Chain A
Amino acid sequence: MADVVVERGRVARAAGARRGSSLRNALGRKSTVAFFLTLPLILLIALLVLYPAFYSVHLATLNKSMTKFVGFGNFTFLFKRETFWMVVQQSCIFAITAVIFKALIGFIVAHFVHNIPAKGQRKWRGMLLVPWVIPPAMSTLAWLWLFDPSYSAFNYTLSFFGVGPIPWLGDTFWARFSVILVNIWYGAPFFMIMYLAALKSVPDQLYEAAAIDGANWWQRIWYVTLPMMRNIIAITTLFSLIVTFANFDIVRILTSGGPLDTTHLFATWAFQVGIQSSDIPLGACVSLFMVPILAVAAIFILRDVNKRGNEA
């Protein structure tokens, strides 16, 4: 298709040279028309994405009062701060652990839902999507009550087994555990629905062929389901990794980064530094650090997606 367009473009150009009316020909070219048709969207993206991105780069090079250009001064300052490295570490732990569990739980639940007869499946699908459709700011508030050290449902229940009380949000380990748990609860349904769609696209005959070839349940998953879902798994994981890495609301509501900044992620720390401590350039600088880390992850995960394309 692309070849045809290029060829037509050439023909159009040659004809244009003959007639000396290159502008009219340029406008008549398919690629030009396509460009103009997509121009509104390009402008919108430029306005909403590119401008803020470059503006934050610009901000990151200013001093605290935003009056002087300091180059990489903010970056070198950050490198020297222990909290920064802790945020890097915590963001990685948070995102990687949460994404692994979300993917795992999503995969298992998708399998169960896939095997429910079509009649009851819609009901289950709807119910299992609930955590994902409730605004996280609201659902996290409910979790905040559940985690309350003195009168929470969790500690109350655990007290019957002689366990606790657990300082869910007061201790570094448990606070990290809690924010990850809530993030998994919120994000697993997304994986579930994506994997369910992928599962439904695997032809039944492949499973039948595998069953006849002698594959047991586990081998069918390993040799048929997973390879067939590879691209969806890669893209979903990347997408979730980005969203989880940039998470703000869960940590902000549950711990505000505490205790002692140990649950801070880039976004919550950038907010604290930039907005609450009124050092906007430093906050911009913190948030910019997400870009190289996520870019590396994107390259790794998407490396094979294009190559594999649609093997079916």
Chain B
Amino acid sequence: MADVSLRKVIKRYDDVEAVRGIDLDISDHEFIVLVGPSGCGKSTTLRMIAGLEDITDGDIMIGGDVVNDVPPKDRDIAMVFQNYALYPHMTVAENMSFGLRLKHYPKAEIKARVTEAARLLDITDLIDRKPKQLSGGQRQRVAMGRAIVRNPKVFLFDEPLSNLDAKLRVQMRIEIKKVHQKVRTTTVYVTHDQVEAMTLADRVVVMNKGCIEQIGTPNELYHKPATRFVAGFIGSPAMNFIPCRLEDVGGTLQIRLTDRIAFPLPPARAARYKTLPRTEKLLLGLRPEHLTESHAHLAPGVETFETVLDVTEPMGMETLVYFGLDGTPVCGRVDPNAGAKDGAPMRLAMDLNNMHLLNEASGVVL
């Protein structure tokens, strides 16, 4: 087990820069998830840690040693691939023990390790089967078993659940978390699914266009996003961004969303935003759960307004409501019994205590 560090790591393909000088420190035992849209450089970063891609510039350190020029086999890492990459001609046991056999471990130890890993992953009955005879989920377990038996310094996961159906994905997600709780090996996990990122990670690294947008715990990213990209990427349904501006009315700072709708800011928020230029083009960032049905007793900082719903989506435990504010589509989450109907007017409450204010041009959360 070891910590992993990336220092100003750059990856360039001809004239395309896939990874643009990222810095990242992953401590021992930590479960780090790299998340971002397609082409953001997350898989390339993982493959550079694995040694499957050369790095153009910078340093990668595993356990304190610079491994830039160390081949994958000498980095003491194990990787789980998206399509499992099991050797089709070998049985499950042979697949899992392949790395140990190459290193000439004693037969008894190989057997013990494979048996233990198989028990951990609940695949003891499958040990003599070929990959062809396994389901997707079982193959994924074998791929994880192959990584576990090696007892490496670092586990690398490259979108391991993408090929599974939705139900199995949830199940395997829990399995992976359980396994990590037991073996505690430093793990770097790549996914484009923000739910996977939030549920698995100790810390999430959000990447975009080859750069790191933000690093933080799942809660930090959700509640204190640093940029519009992170705010929009994390959370489902995504955060609403409503064009707005600040104005002073009778000594109080208020936020104007449309010609009709303007609310005074709660005192804490007003103090925070009072120095902002009033002419600046801003965006109000508000998560759907902070746009709910109106109640008789409203907490301070919660303001109500009347709107006409375009579409409602009953989800069972909640109903998503969609409406427009001066042409900007907005999503809210209301109680299923609140009487939300397609095309019907509804009074909604906006919790400004949980608002975010963003600079429209730079996308930075203010």
Please report A residues at the B interface, Cβ cutoff 8 Å. Answer: 203, 205-206, 208-216, 219, 223-224, 227-228, 230, 308, 310-312
Of listed A203, A205, A206, A212, residue having the most chain B CB within 10 A: A212
> Does the CB pair A214–B99 fall under 8 Å?
yes
Given A205-B85, A208-B81, A312-B88; A219-B72 close (CB under 8 Å) = no
Q: By DSSP majority rule, is chain A's interface helix, strand, loop, or mixed?
A: helix
Given A211-B71, A212-B72, A216-B73; A223-B98 close (CB under 8 Å) = yes
* B87 interfacial contact with A, CB 8 Å: yes
Given A212-B50, A213-B99, A213-B102; A228-B79 close (CB under 8 Å) = no
Given A227-B89, A311-B89, A312-B132; A214-B103 close (CB under 8 Å) = yes
Partner of B85, one of A203, A214, A223, A230: A203
Please report B residues at the A interface, Cβ cutoff 8 Å. Answer: 50-52, 71-73, 77-79, 81, 83, 85-89, 98-99, 102-103, 130-132, 146, 150
**A227–B77 CA distance with the chains assembled, in angstroms:** 25
Q: Write out the residue numbers on chain A whose beta carbons fall within 8 Å of the beta carbon of B51.
A: 211-212
**A219–B98 CA distance with the chains assembled, in angstroms:** 11
**Pairs A–B under 8 Å by Cβ, sample size 24:** A205-B83, A208-B50, A208-B52, A208-B79, A208-B81, A209-B87, A210-B87, A210-B98, A211-B51, A211-B52, A211-B72, A211-B73, A212-B72, A212-B73, A212-B77, A213-B150, A214-B102, A223-B87, A223-B98, A227-B87, A227-B89, A228-B89, A230-B89, A311-B89
Q: Write out the residue numbers on chain B whose beta carbons fall within 8 Å of the beta carbon of A310.
A: 132
B330 to chain A, nearest CB (A): 43
Nearest first, the 3 A-B pairs at minimum CB distance are A213-B99, A205-B85, A214-B73
**A213–B79 CA distance with the chains assembled, in angstroms:** 9
> Does the CB pair B98–A213 fall under 8 Å?
yes
Given A203-B85, A215-B73, A216-B73; A209-B79 close (CB under 8 Å) = yes
Partner of A208, one of B85, B99, B130: B85
A274 to chain B, nearest CB (A): 46
Q: Write out the residue numbers on chain A whose beta carbons fall within 8 Å of the beta carbon of B88.
A: 228, 311-312
B142 to chain A, nearest CB (A): 12
Q: Write out the residue numbers on chain B whose beta carbons fall within 8 Å of the beta carbon of A219.
A: 102
Q: Write out the residue numbers on chain A whose beta carbons fall within 8 Å of the beta carbon of B146.
A: 209, 213
B85 to chain A, nearest CB (A): 4
Of listed B50, B102, B150, residue having the most chain A CB within 10 A: B102
> Does the CB pair B83–A203 fall under 8 Å?
yes
> Does the CB pair B85–A209 fall under 8 Å?
yes
Q: Write out the residue numbers on chain A whose beta carbons fall within 8 Å of the beta carbon of B85.
A: 203, 205-206, 208-209
> Does the CB pair B102–A215 fall under 8 Å?
yes
**A311–B83 CA distance with the chains assembled, in angstroms:** 15
**A206–B146 CA distance with the chains assembled, in angstroms:** 13
A241 to chain B, nearest CB (A): 24
Q: Write out the residue numbers on chain B whose beta carbons fall within 8 Å of the beta carbon of A216.
A: 73
Given contacts A213-B98, A213-B102, A311-B89, 18 further A-B contacts (CB under 8 A): A205-B81, A206-B87, A208-B50, A209-B87, A209-B146, A210-B98, A211-B71, A211-B72, A212-B79, A213-B73, A213-B146, A214-B73, A215-B98, A215-B102, A216-B73, A230-B89, A308-B89, A311-B130
When C-beta atoms are compared, the residue in chain B nearest to A309 turns out to be B132
Q: Write out the residue numbers on chain B whose beta carbons fall within 8 Å of the beta carbon of A224.
A: 87
